Amino acid sequence: MQPSDYTLSTDEHFKLIFEIYSHIPRLTEISAEELRVRLSELGVDRTKRTIQRYLNVIMYYPDYFQVERFERARNSYSYKRKYHNKVSSAAWETMLLGLCFSSAKRLLPLHFEQGIHEAFMPLQLGDVIEPTKIEVRLALPKQNDYDFDVFERLSQAINAKRQVRLMLTDDTQTDYLTPLGLIWEKGMLYLVYEHKNEREALAFSDITQADISTFTFEYPSDFSLSDTVIPTQR
């Protein structure tokens, strides 16, 4: 049974509105059903009808929520955020951001490029990126390929403080793990996690699927990513 929306406080209503808004992308479109599935994976269970009602609220305030709606079929819509370049930067700030953008493109696999563009889109980088005025040359080993969906889900889990279960390349499934952060070392991306009071690092290239659980965790106060030792690759 779905919880009644009328039992929610005003604060909870606002939290849900902003949670839905945070999952509306800038480059691609998303439907109410796709938002329902994404929120359900984070432990926020609402009906498609409820999600649609909150999307209508978001569309009612165009001056605050910069969202576009597209009709897919009769009474069926998809949504994406409007792109308004409102960030004003000094020339040196723009070039510094351009270096970060170009470095991210070199560090991550090619199919991450759309996500990188979306992440940097709110920043004033147009004159630096098109045409290119910055080139980053990094001496990197051959990159391992990573599943962007795995990256996205683990990012959500880390920020929402939710435990995860992973499917690995050898077809085994892990117990529930506490994801603590990400490390990039020697051309490889690693997930740092805690399990049974032990902290380990796992290469992203060993992960084929990540499922977000409803179990939350408190971030350990004694933990530091800088103290994590990456195991020697076989």
Write the pLDDT tens digit of every residue in 102-141.
888 888 888 788 788 777 776 655 655 555 677 777 776 6
What is the layout of strands, in order, in the sheet containing 198-203? 178-185, 188-195, 198-203
Write the pLDDT tens digit of every residue in 4-23.
443 445 667 777 888 888 88
Structural domains in the chain plus CATH codes: 5-81 (1.10.10), 85-140 (no CATH), 148-227 (2.30.30)
Phi, psi dihedral angles at 7 (to 5 degrees) = -90, -5
Instruction: Evaluate if residue 164 carries a pLDDT over 50.
Output: yes
Question: Is the CB of residue 107 less than 8 Å from the CB of residue 140?
Answer: yes
Question: 6-18 burial, b for 16+ CB within 10 Å, e for fewer?
Answer: eeeeeeeeeebbe
pTM over 0.85: no
Helix 48-60 and helix 32-41, axial crossing angle in degrees, nearest 10: 110
Question: Is the CB of residue 195 less than 8 Å from the CB of residue 175?
Answer: yes
Average pLDDT value over all residues in the chain: 81
